[in-house]
DNA sequence: ATAATTCTGTACACTTGTGTCCAATATTTA
DNA sequence: TAAATATTGGACACAAGTGTACAGAATTAT
């Protein structure tokens, strides 16, 4: 049974947050299809019976794991840029951090979302759609941010900011994916550099990340 | 047994090429882990016993399927550009064709190689390494091509051509991946446009693809 | 103390996947 | 025709995965 509210009882001995965290780490490394319910329960350090008691199954845990991933992903900071705030410094710092994190990961796992978009969109209707939403959200946020940055005179776009936003999301997914093959932080950063210069960011703004 | 050379015998009733082609289509749609040996034999339209007779297993078929994919992938044309030949027209035409193909695919499968890099690199050592080689090869070819294009005065690079090559491969992988979510050809093309303008390709060279 | 609730560990039934094997049949070359 | 080779279709053994069930122990609130 799932938890019911009522009189007291034995409390869960595991932290649900910790369990989801461990599940997320596993999905991150092995993808969705590469993980079984057994693997999950093992990684979450709970019995398989507890697993089925407390969670609806692999797909449900995956949903929660993705949410958890979004909380710790380097690009979460882009969602927190407010209106009126400077965009470029945060953008540059975020990309720097992303390169650092991807290169520092000894397992070269790349990005959980990107990996699973490749794996699940068009394969699993439900999970694929959920992941598409994450990408759509990133697109929406970037449209707002690039419009804002241009309006604030932070850079001189050579094409429509909506086009830049789309190119940025594509660039970001490519960077995450290629980071599984290109392992040197400096080379990953050079990709960011090339992209940023290309969309009109000034050289001077790149080093102050 | 695998085929032995000797006196004649009953010839294989199926075309090995067709079988690999069908296997490739299946891997393209469902990924590697999403496909079982049964699925494979079914798709290849051969008995499961014939499957094990004629192929070493799923992984071996996958290897052949990847090679087949490389033969039909839009970016194969980039490998055929000779020394002294103009690079940009082919590059632009290739990207146009890529956008067209990705948008025209009703199943939104993206790129088989990119999908499987996301799925397998770091997960399956053998297959992952083989896919990494494909990416490394693309990197090598692009280094040569961008150096050639710059030397031939086809465009004015603002950063080192090696950096552009790296950024291009990343861009290409991102485009393939995002094409699973962004389905309109015009939007995919706008991503290419933004990238090409960014690395210094002249506006005039974009429309003559 | 009692009821409520959860965990543990094991067990079970069922499905799916893997790889092998075989006898019968079909087709080609020598 | 005989030898060689392939396919067919079914069967088998085995491993792995899924989801459920249950009895006993543990812990909490009332």
User: Which tens digit of pLDDT belongs to each residue from A116-141?
Assistant: 999 999 999 999 999 999 999 999 99
> Please, are residues B169 and B114 in contact by the beta-carbon 8 Å criterion?
no
What's the CA B116/C1' D11 distance, rounded, in angstroms?
Answer: 35
Please report the pLDDT score of residue A7 as a whole number: 53
Task: Report, as an integer, the average pLDDT of A184-206.
Answer: 97
pLDDT band at B19 (very low <50, low <70, confident <90, very high): very high
Q: Do B118 and A136 touch (CB under 8 A)?
A: no
pLDDT band at A4 (very low <50, low <70, confident <90, very high): very low
Please report the pLDDT score of residue B9 as a whole number: 60
Task: Report, as an integer, the average pLDDT of B53-65.
Answer: 94
The CA R_g of chain B, rounded to the nearest whole Å, is 20
What's the CA A207/C1' D5 distance, rounded, in angstroms?
Answer: 69
Percent of chain B with pLDDT over 90: 89
Overall pTM > 0.75: yes
Maximum Cα interatomic distance, chain B, rounded to a whole number of Å: 64
Start-to-end C-alpha separation, chain A: 50
Task: Report, as an integer, the average pLDDT of B52-60.
Answer: 93
Question: What does the alpha-carbon distance between residue B24 and residue B61 come to, in Å, rounded to a whole number?
Answer: 8
Supply the mean pLDDT for chain B.
Answer: 93
The CA angle B115-B116-B118, to the nearest 5 degrees, is 70
Which of A136, A181, A194 comes nearest B164 by C-beta?
A194
Percent of chain B with pLDDT over 70: 94
User: Does residue B52 lie within 7 Å of nucleic acid chain C, judged by its CB?
Assistant: yes
Which residues of chain A from 142 to 171 reach within 8 Å of chain B, CB to CB?
A: 158-159, 163-164, 166-167, 169-171
| Side-chain-side CA neighbours of residue A70 (13 Å) | 16
Q: Which residues of A touch B122 (CB under 8 A)?
A: 29, 107-110, 180
Task: Report, as an integer, the average pLDDT of B12-28.
Answer: 91
Q: Which of A82-96, B42-56, B183-197 has the lowest mean pLDDT?
A: B42-56
Q: Which residues of B touch A170 (CB under 8 A)?
A: 171, 174-175, 177-178, 182, 191
Q: Does B135 lie at the interface with A, CB-CB under 8 angstroms?
A: yes
Q: Do A195 and B167 touch (CB under 8 A)?
A: yes
In this complex, the residue with its CA at the shortest distance from the C1' of nucleotide C8 is: A47
């Amino acid at each position: 049974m799932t938890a019911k509210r009522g009189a007291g009882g034995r409390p869960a001995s595991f932290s649900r947050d910790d369990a989801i965290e461990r599940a997320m780490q596993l999905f991150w490394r092995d993808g969705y299809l590469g993980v079984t319910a057994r693997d999950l329960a093992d990684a979450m350090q709970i019995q398989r019976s507890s697993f089925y008691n407390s969670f609806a199954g692999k797909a449900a845990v995956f949903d929660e794991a993705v949410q958890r991933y979004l909380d710790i992903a380097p690009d979460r900071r882009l969602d927190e840029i407010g209106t009126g705030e400077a965009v470029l410094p945060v953008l540059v710092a975020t990309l720097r951090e992303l390169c650092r994190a991807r290169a520092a990961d000894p397992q070269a796992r790349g990005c959980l979302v990107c990996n699973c978009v490749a794996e699940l969109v068009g394969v699993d209707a439900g999970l694929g759609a959920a992941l598409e939403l994450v990408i759509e959200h990133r697109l929406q946020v970037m449209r707002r941010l690039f419009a804002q940055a241009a309006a604030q005179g932070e850079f001189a776009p050579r094409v429509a900011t909506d086009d830049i936003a789309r190119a940025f999301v594509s660039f970001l997914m490519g960077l995450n994916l290629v980071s599984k093959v290109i392992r040197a932080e400096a080379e990953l950063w050079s990709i960011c550099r090339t992209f940023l210069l290309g969309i009109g960011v000034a050289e001077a703004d790149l080093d102050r990340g």
